[in-house]
A and B are shown apart, each in its own frame.
Chain A
Amino acid sequence: MTEKRMTFGQATVDAMGHAMREDNRVIVLGEDISWGGNFGQFRGLVDEFGHDRVIDMPISEAAIMSVAVGAAVTGLRPVASMSFVEFTLGAMDEIVNQASKFRYMFGGQVSVPLVLRASDGVLRSSGAQHSESLEGLFTHIPGLKVVAPSNSADAKGLLRAAIDDDDPVVYLENKKITAKRGPVATEDYRTPLGVAEIRRPGTDVTIVAYSVMALHAETAAEQLATEHGIAAEVVDLRSLVPLDFATVAGSVARTRHAVVAHEAWTFGGYGAEIAAQLSEELWGDLAAPVARVGARQAPIPFSPPLERAVVPQVDEIVTAVLRTLEGAS
């Protein structure tokens, strides 16, 4: 196995290359993609695969998504790209009313093998319409799978698996980690959907996170170990739907304490689902209520101190862990 250090973006270009070389049904369509895309996620693809397979779309999000649906149900495997996750809101009908429902509503006649890629999360004061984490909108909808990798190796493997998958998969790439480098195997491989990974073992508390928050959780765990002597286990979900609840529950059953962390809003967020399932399944085992860390209930503000006040980082995870352990019975 050969390995290279790649940015998250380079890793996904690598995955696209493998997929497009193996299967000529794979096409990619989105805004600016023959120029490489906003974060270089498509760099070089047009040179190898041409404009018939790397299709520059007008700024027409509904068309991007509905064209992908039409292509997917007639024999292709499109990867549709939205530069920012907020842009998917202009295609919500196509995502929710069409892509997610076609298989079920038509009695299983057809699959909708497409990937919807979007960049999400906070990056250097991008403002209210380019900073959000909207995964909760997608995880709520039956028929959509949702993945949110935290590192380059998973970015490649999950994208490859998402393209292979016969159902619509929403692939969320956090802007803050797009440029971050990590080791990636150069050969073709898949990271299966629905398998969480324990990033750091620990015995005192479980931090459940994904995407950029999984990295923050690892930093928080290190800080908790050195400053407080607390051994935190970090579970990186990687895939939100399907959810690997067994790994989460297995960890929490051992540590008896859980903190769920994401950059999305806490209120009504995906973390609430994890917290609720843990309460339902492990009520007797929990030594303290499941704590949640997420953004406060406001649009993401522009000014750096305001943005920092709304969006959680490492400190909030540390505080939540300490509070959870303090309140423990």
Chain B
Amino acid sequence: MNDSVSPDVMLAMHRTMVRIRAFETRVSELFLDGKLPGFVHTYIGEEAIAAGVCAALRADDYITSTHRGHGHAIAKGMGLNELMAELYGKATGVCGGYGGSMHVADFSLGMLGANGIVGGGFGIAAGAALSARYRQSSQVAVCFFGDGGINKGTFHEALNFAALHKLPAVFVCENNQYAQFTAASRTTSVDDVATRAGGYGIPGKTLDGNDALVVHQAALAAGKRARDGFGPTLLNMVTYRHGGHYVGDAEVYRERDEVETWRQRDPIPHLEAAIVAAGAAPASDLAQVTAAAQAEVARAEQFAEESPWPDDSHALANVFTEAP
């Protein structure tokens, strides 16, 4: 079925994944060097999901994101400069430095925010979907969440509501198998979280979240179903964090062998092999994409470094909407 993904889409997804990887790799280094305030949760290893899903969306579709949100932001079109500057807390950041890593958002891209509260996006996505339907805009709202989020009460409340009203929403579980430090087997009552869709009378599918082509096709089908008025789908995308919960996590809770096994199943080489096999591009072109992404990240870093800090006289701006 993978032949139905066009070469252009394959290459676009690849470029997105490589840009996310390059960005997150440099962000990890910058954090460990003490350049970034706060703390960061990187998306390394999970890139196929954001890239595959967002490639299936319209520019005006909505996404809600998580504390691990840089990948979603990049995949939805956020520039690396304003994303990096936000991580630095600079005035040129996408949220002017008010948000930081866990709160990157760009509403003009339909990116309704990374969210520091696990499970915070379920209802917001449902609300965006309700709004889209009410406005007859034919937009879809995609909620990215983790396997930790699936045990929040908001999962139940929002999926029940979205299913009841057949809202144009897609719920994408980025199942990296760990809720912070704790394995899903110790926190979740079912092995296959897609079965929970049955409780809401909606389709649920478990998929290889490290295969961008599989992710993309599932997202296209779920997006079409949502747009056509048939309601939400739960997609359980199985994947793995190459790093810890956050950069600097001592990772005492995962076996080395397990980590190594999953690193071998890296989604980027996997897609590259498919691209080469399909004749969409030669390997040398793909290496150039990686080099270009690294150069783009270096420019973003320089942009952030050289950007001004926010003016501290603006610390109380935007608590409320100013009168016009």
Do these two chains interact? yes
Contact B112 A58 (CB under 8 A): no
A interface footprint on B155-197 (CB within 8 Å = 1, 0 otherwise): 0111011001000000000000000000000000000000000
Interfacial chain A residues near B127, Cβ < 8 Å? 66-74, 78
A103 in contact (CB, < 8 A): yes
Contact B124 A62 (CB under 8 A): no
Interfacial chain B residues near A53, Cβ < 8 Å? 134
Q: Could you tell me which residues of chain A, from 204 to 228, have a CB within 8 Å of some CB in chain B?
A: none
B146 in contact (CB, < 8 A): no
Contact B99 A107 (CB under 8 A): yes
B interface footprint on A48-90 (CB within 8 Å = 1, 0 otherwise): 0000110101101011011111111111101000000000000
A279 in contact (CB, < 8 A): no
Contact B131 A75 (CB under 8 A): yes
* Contact (A63, B158) CB under 8 Å given A98-B120, A107-B99, A109-B105: yes
A interface footprint on B43-82 (CB within 8 Å = 1, 0 otherwise): 0000000000000000000101000000000000000000
Interfacial chain A residues near B319, Cβ < 8 Å? 103-104, 142-143
Contact B131 A108 (CB under 8 A): no
Interfacial chain A residues near B115, Cβ < 8 Å? 98
B125 in contact (CB, < 8 A): yes
Contact B93 A94 (CB under 8 A): no
Contact B106 A58 (CB under 8 A): no
A173 in contact (CB, < 8 A): no
Bound Cα distance A73, B124 (Å) = 9
Instruction: Name B321's contact: one of A65, A66, A68, A166 (CB within 8 Å).
Output: A166
Closest residue of chain A to B158 (Cβ to Cβ) is: A63
* Contact (A109, B320) CB under 8 Å given A63-B123, A71-B131, A93-B120: no
Interfacial chain B residues near A167, Cβ < 8 Å? 320-321
A97 in contact (CB, < 8 A): yes
Contact B120 A73 (CB under 8 A): no
* Contact (A143, B157) CB under 8 Å given A93-B120, A107-B99: no
Chain B nearest CB, measured from A17 CB (Å): 19
Chain B nearest CB, measured from A287 CB (Å): 34
Contact A143 B161 (CB under 8 A): no
Instruction: Name B95's contact: one of A71, A72, A76, A105 (CB within 8 Å).
Output: A105
B113 in contact (CB, < 8 A): yes
Bound Cα distance A98, B94 (Å) = 18
* Contact (A109, B106) CB under 8 Å given A70-B123, A71-B130, A74-B132: yes
B96 in contact (CB, < 8 A): yes
Instruction: Name A52's contact: one of B106, B126, B132, B134 (CB within 8 Å).
Output: B134
Instruction: Name B98's contact: one of A72, A76, A106 (CB within 8 Å).
Output: A106
A111 in contact (CB, < 8 A): yes
* Contact (A106, B99) CB under 8 Å given A58-B157, A70-B124: yes
Chain A nearest CB, measured from B192 CB (Å): 25
Interfacial chain A residues near B112, Cβ < 8 Å? 70, 73-74
Contact B122 A66 (CB under 8 A): yes
Contact A106 B103 (CB under 8 A): yes
Interfacial chain A residues near B125, Cβ < 8 Å? 70
Contact A108 B105 (CB under 8 A): no
Contact B161 A104 (CB under 8 A): no
Contact B95 A60 (CB under 8 A): no
Closest residue of chain A to B99 (Cβ to Cβ) is: A105
Interfacial chain B residues near A57, Cβ < 8 Å? 161
* Contact (A103, B123) CB under 8 Å given A58-B160, A70-B131, A74-B131: no
What are 8 A-B contacts with C-beta separation under 8 Å? A66-B122, A67-B123, A67-B126, A74-B112, A74-B128, A94-B120, A107-B93, A109-B108
Interface residues of B (CB under 8 A from A): 62, 64, 93-99, 103, 105-108, 112-113, 115-117, 120, 122-132, 134-135, 141, 153-154, 156-158, 160-161, 164, 317-321
CB-CB nearest 6 A-B residue pairs = A70-B127, A66-B123, A107-B95, A107-B96, A108-B318, A63-B157
Known: A66-B127, A69-B127. 10 other contacts (CB 8 A): A63-B123, A63-B158, A66-B122, A66-B158, A70-B131, A76-B134, A94-B123, A98-B117, A107-B96, A142-B319
